[in-house]
């Protein structure tokens, strides 16, 4: 394939044997772990956990990525569409509340093949970094019931500085609007999100203006009851981090962000304890379940 799945538009040749593009991945999926994950938002976890598949590679180069061993170093095992479908079935048999596809965009073609045309007994969740093309998201209509995009940046500077994507917001805005166009207002059944959009935002230390710009966009774009919003405090400095990224967010930063969110009327969703950054958020990528 000559890849143009994401905003990078690398036009790189990616084959089952040859990796390419910013994601540095072949065309067939590379998976680092499949598990029942307890640390997603409560509306995704259910009784036993979200059936999470961690794909390797990423189109962003975030300096603060907690999953860098798979997103940037490429650790994982190559599989085909048949094995991927088997993994989905195995997770459902274990009691998964949903099929949670983490960083899936660069494997869109094979994931759609694995999902097939028949509906699944649990929601399919597209858990992505937000740096997406509307055209790619349109291809998921009818296959994906829940979209779980990051909205990392509302400002050009931090996007360029921390993820090499100064145009991040322009693409994220278009793609999230397409996600909402497909799902409509979020739907909960017995506390489980069965359809809709849940937008995540990770507060970065010293970047409250960026967080406010994200909240501003959500508040002016969506009315209460339309989307869920998750304001995350779990930023953890990574080895070698310098400058602002070398510390956790402070108690006052998180309180200010929560207050701003509430004042803007963004009340459907989740906040975290500031001290919620735990090792469990980053599972051991040991190829289990693959």
User: Which ranges of the chain does DSSP label H, i.e. alpha helix?
Assistant: 42-45, 68-71, 81-93, 108-115, 134-138, 156-163, 168-183, 208-221, 251-263
pLDDT at 88: 98
Residue located via tokens 């459907």? 268
The whole-angstrom separation of Cα 122 and Cα 217 is 31
Percentage helix, strand, coil, to 5, in the chain? 35, 20, 45
Strand pairing partners for 51?
36, 99
Per-residue pLDDT of the chain (290 residues; tens, 9 = 90+): 999 999 999 999 999 999 999 999 999 999 999 999 999 999 999 999 999 999 999 999 999 999 999 999 999 999 999 999 999 999 999 999 999 999 999 999 999 999 999 999 999 999 999 999 999 999 999 999 999 999 999 999 999 999 999 999 999 999 999 999 999 999 999 999 999 999 999 999 999 999 999 999 999 999 999 999 999 999 999 988 999 999 999 999 999 999 999 999 999 999 976 555 554 567 899 999 99
**DSSP-derived pairing of the beta strands 228-232 and 124-128:** unpaired
pTM of the predicted structure, to 2 decimals? 0.97
Structure tokens at 155: 């400002």
The whole-angstrom separation of Cα 86 and Cα 194 is 22
Structure tokens at 193: 């999100």
Instruction: Go through 211-230 and write b for each residue having 16 or more CB atoms within 10 A of its CB, e for each that does not.
Output: bbbbbebbbeebeeebbbbb
C-alpha distance from residue 1 to each of 22, 24, 180 (Å): 15, 14, 29
C-alpha count within 13 angstroms, C-beta hemisphere, residue 188 = 16
pLDDT at 281: 63
DSSP string, 16-33: SS--BTTTTB-SS-EEEE
Phi, psi of 7 (to 5 degrees): -60, -15
pLDDT at 166: 98
C-alpha distance from residue 36 to each of 54, 69, 207 (Å): 11, 20, 33
Q: Under 8 Å CB-to-CB from 257, ≥6 apart: which residues?
A: 203, 208, 211, 212, 215, 231
pLDDT at 115: 98
The whole-angstrom separation of Cα 289 and Cα 31 is 9
Q: What angle, 0 to 180 degrees and rounded to 10, lies between the N-to-C axes of helices 208-221 and 251-263?
A: 20
The whole-angstrom separation of Cα 222 and Cα 116 is 32
């Amino acid at each position: 394939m000559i890849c143009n799945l994401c905003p990078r538009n690398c036009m790189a040749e990616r084959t089952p044997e040859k990796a390419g593009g910013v994601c540095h991945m072949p065309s067939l999926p590379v998976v680092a772990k499949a598990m029942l994950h307890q640390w997603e938002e409560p509306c995704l976890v259910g009784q036993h956990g979200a059936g999470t598949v961690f794909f390797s590679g990423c189109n962003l180069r975030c300096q603060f990525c907690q999953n860098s061993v798979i997103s940037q170093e490429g650790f994982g095992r190559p599989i085909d569409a048949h094995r991927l479908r088997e993994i989905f079935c195995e997770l459902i048999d274990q009691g998964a509340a949903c099929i949670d596809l983490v960083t899936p965009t660069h494997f869109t073609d094979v994931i759609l093949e694995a999902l097939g045309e028949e509906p699944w007994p649990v929601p399919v969740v597209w858990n992505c970094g937000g740096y997406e093309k509307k055209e790619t998201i349109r291809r998921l209509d009818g296959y994906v019931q829940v979209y779980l995009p990051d909205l990392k940046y509302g400002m050009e500077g931090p996007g360029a500085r921390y993820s090499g994507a100064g145009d991040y917001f322009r693409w994220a805005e278009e793609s999230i609007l397409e996600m909402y166009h497909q799902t409509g207002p979020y739907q909960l059944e017995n506390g489980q999100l069965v359809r809709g959009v849940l937008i995540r935002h990770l507060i970065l230390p010293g970047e409250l203006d960026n967080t406010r710009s994200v909240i501003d966009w959500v508040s002016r774009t969506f009315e209460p009851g339309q989307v869920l919003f998750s304001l995350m405090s779990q930023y953890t400095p990574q080895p070698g981090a310098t400058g602002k990224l070398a510390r956790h967010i402070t108690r006052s930063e998180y309180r200010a962000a929560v207050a701003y969110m509430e004042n803007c009327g963004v009340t459907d969703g989740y906040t975290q304890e500031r001290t919620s950054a735990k090792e469990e958020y980053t599972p051991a990528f040991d190829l289990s379940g693959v």
